[in-house]
Amino acid sequence: MIKKGITLLLLSFLIVACKKEGNKGIVQTNPENQIIIADNGKIDSTIGYNVDVNGKKTIKTDYVYKATDGTLVKVVFNYDPKESSVSITNNKKTFTLDKVESKGNETIYEKDEMKAKVKGDSLILHQGENVIELEKTKI
């Protein structure tokens, strides 16, 4: 009887303690502060972020790049760990390339004969014998 009473008392105390402080055994992740890690375990420096006036940080996914001939290209990154990809749109045509490797300061995307290498503000697109160099704009 005493043992049962002590058990109920401890159980009641644990319920109250968990309600007040939360369960510390559960790790909560905040998607706003998520840091994307490259394939080599380092922070992926090719990822850009938006910060609003309240300091809330979100991942920036779409950019405008400019080719050396002045052509503007829309580039959208998908950072989903299951299906990371980049979509490149120009002249109403969109090419989607899958991520194959990320080194932290450089990410490589490929599909069929197309290959894109993203490093810093540059994106170098290889399509067969053609090489197109793009630079991120400030637009």
Does residue 134 surpass a pLDDT of 80?
Answer: yes
Evaluate whether 70 touches 133 at the Cβ level (below 8 Å).
Answer: no
Q: What is the average pLDDT score of the chain?
A: 78
Distance between CA atoms of residues 41 and 104, nearest Å: 8
Distance between CA atoms of residues 122 and 99, nearest Å: 16
Amino acid at site 99:
K
Q: Given the structure tokens 């009887």, which residue do they identify?
A: 1
Give tens-digit pLDDT for 14-27.
Answer: 444 444 444 444 44
pLDDT for position 53: 87
Amino acid at site 101:
E
Does residue 109 surpass a pLDDT of 80?
Answer: yes
The reported pTM is 0.67
Strand-pair partners of 58: 50
